[in-house]
Amino acid sequence: ANALNEARRFFGLAVFGLRLFAVGGRGPSGDLSSVETLGDVGGEWIIEANALNEARRFFGLAVFGLRLFAVGGRGPSGDLSSVETLGDVGGEWSIEAKTLNEARCYLGLAVFGSKLFAVGGDGMSSVETLGD
């Protein structure tokens, strides 16, 4: 595969809708809200028209149900409790009404059973579930 369009670290990477998504992170000029996708192994990365609503790094990214979830992380103004979801490739990211109870970055995020688990974080041992 070819290189990303933007240098990014501390970003989320997941497969959603038959595309590989590189979401958010941190670039040379600061935190990123941009999203790039790859449609095939030998293809070119495309910068998606619709970016995250909040720039974030150190967050969790996972597919849950039929949506891609970006959970928590750290933005330019500090740690985040917000949750954003994407329902369709090429669609707009939505800020969910239900947020994390505690802002957390460096968390683990995974689907287990019928819940999305946000586990730990910077100095944290607590567990929260989404999808109630």
pLDDT digits (tens, 9 = 90+) for 48-95: 999 999 999 999 999 999 999 999 999 999 999 999 999 999 999 999
| Average pLDDT score over residue span 109-132 | 94
pTM reported for the whole predicted model: 0.95
* The predicted structure's pLDDT at residue 42: 87
Q: 12-130 has which CATH code?
A: 2.120.10.80
Token pair of 119 as six digits = 């586990």
Quote the CA–CA distance of 25 and 74 in Å, as a whole number. 9
Paired residues of 82 in beta bridges = none
* The predicted structure's pLDDT at residue 132: 62
* The predicted structure's pLDDT at residue 107: 98
Going by C-beta distance under 8 Å and a sequence separation of 6 or more, which residues neighbour residue 86?
Answer: 16, 50, 67, 68, 70, 92, 93, 94
